[in-house]
């Protein structure tokens, strides 16, 4: 499997309060990779390191087969970026912002930019500073897509936008990915939104990578089990118990690494499996964070 982004042993410190230590992750080429985590977990810092906006203390970052920050100019020429906070000059009109952006990218597709302008219902004469938050988000997405990038890095691209605006932006994004096979690295706290579009997911917490795996394995492997006759010692289980809660004679376990054939484990012992409950991405996300912060004894 080829990778659009490879990070090995990354170390970065911001003052005394925050640190990313020994971060290693892989973003497969052509994937839509969801990057999850609570506020302050290190998502935006990681994105800035990937784009060469910050320099690591140690480790290796490879983006589109080029090292960052050594070859960052070559990387950025092939990368579309939508930051969490729009950074355009407020005095530029929509048309002027498009012309300014196009000047830096030989791959700029003017005809598609104009089509997106119509699809997003943006007024080309309106100054950026007078656009609504949703309109600013649409323009930032337009600029990133119209340069025809191989990699799209999106930092909370739909944060605070209404559902109609989010739908329009995601439809344009998915249309581009389907046509060009681009890789998307997207950070968001809108977990249900990522659940619909992503095929890989990673979870950050306090500067550490908690989990990284394909979306189908993530959703299939995290379950809530209702069991009776639970042992006091959980050693020797074929899966990992993230959380356990007693309710009378039964217990509720949240487990990771579950596979369907593991029901056979309960047929051999005194513990009885009463029910298997599927968890969505948000429930699994919360349980993994809780387990990372307070492991089960």
**9 — pLDDT class (breaks 50, 70, 90):** very high
Asked whether the beta carbons of 163 and 131 are under 8 A apart, the reply is: no
pLDDT value of position 252 = 94
**Which pLDDT tens digit goes with each residue over 47-62?**
999 999 999 999 999 9
pLDDT digits (tens, 9 = 90+) for 121-132: 999 999 999 999
Question: Each residue of 150-163: pLDDT tens digit?
Answer: 999 999 998 888 88
Predicted confidence (pLDDT) at residue 295 exceeds the cutoff of 60: no
Mean pLDDT for 88-107 is: 96
What local confidence, expressed as pLDDT, does residue 221 receive?
Answer: 93
**Cβ 89 vs Cβ 224: under 8 Å:** no
- Of 123, 118, 94, whose CA–CA distance to 172 is shortest? 118
Residues 40, 18: Cα–Cα separation, whole Å: 8
- pLDDT over threshold 90, residue 214: yes
**CATH class of residue range 3-215:** alpha beta
User: What sign results for the dihedral spanned by CA atoms 254, 257, 261, 262?
Assistant: negative
Which residues touch 239 (CB under 8 Å, ≥6 apart)?
A: 255, 256, 257, 258, 259, 262
pLDDT surpassing 90 at residue 86:
no
pLDDT in tens, 222-279: 999 999 999 888 888 999 999 899 988 899 999 999 999 999 989 888 899 999 999 9
For the chain, the average pLDDT equals 93
Residue whose C-alpha is closest to residue 271's, from 231, 226, 223, 224: 231
What is residue 241's predicted lDDT score, i.e. its pLDDT?
A: 92
Task: Give the position of tokens 């309060």.
Answer: 17
Take residue 16 and report the two structure tokens written for it.
């005394």
111-123 residue pLDDT tens: 999 999 999 999 9
pTM of the model: 0.92
Residue 1 pLDDT grade (very low, low, confident, very high; cuts 50, 70, 90): low
């Amino acid at each position: 499997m080829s990778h659009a982004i490879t990070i090995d042993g990354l170390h970065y410190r911001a003052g005394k309060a925050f640190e990313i230590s020994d971060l290693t992750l892989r973003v497969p080429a052509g994937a839509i990779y969801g990057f999850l985590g609570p506020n302050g977990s290190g998502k935006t810092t990681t994105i800035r390191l990937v784009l060469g906006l910050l320099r690591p203390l140690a480790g290796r970052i490879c983006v589109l087969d080029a090292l960052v920050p050594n070859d960052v100019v070559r990387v950025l020429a092939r990368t579309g970026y939508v930051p969490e906070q729009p950074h355009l000059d407020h005095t530029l009109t929509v048309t002027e912002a498009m012309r300014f952006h196009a000047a830096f990218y030989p791959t700029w597709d003017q005809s598609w930019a104009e089509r997106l302008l119509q699809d997003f219902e943006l007024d080309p004469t309106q100054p950026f500073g007078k656009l609504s938050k949703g309109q600013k988000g649409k323009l930032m997405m337009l600029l990133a897509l119209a340069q025809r990038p191989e990699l799209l890095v999106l930092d909370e691209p739909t944060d605070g936008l209404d559902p109609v605006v989010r739908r329009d932006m995601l439809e344009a994004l998915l249309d581009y990915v389907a046509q060009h096979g681009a890789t998307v690295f997207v950070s968001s706290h809108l977990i249900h939104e990522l659940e619909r579009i992503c095929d890989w997911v990673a979870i950050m917490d306090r500067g550490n990578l908690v989990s990284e795996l394909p979306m189908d394995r993530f959703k299939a492997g995290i379950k809530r089990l209702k069991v009776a006759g639970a042992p006091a010692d959980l050693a020797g289980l074929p899966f990992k118990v993230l959380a356990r809660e007693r309710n009378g004679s039964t217990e509720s376990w949240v487990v990771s690494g579950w596979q369907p054939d593991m029901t056979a484990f309960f047929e051999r012992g005194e513990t009885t499996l009463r029910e298997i409950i599927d968890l969505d991405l948000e429930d699994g996300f919360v349980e993994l964070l809780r387990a990372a912060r307070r492991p089960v004894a």
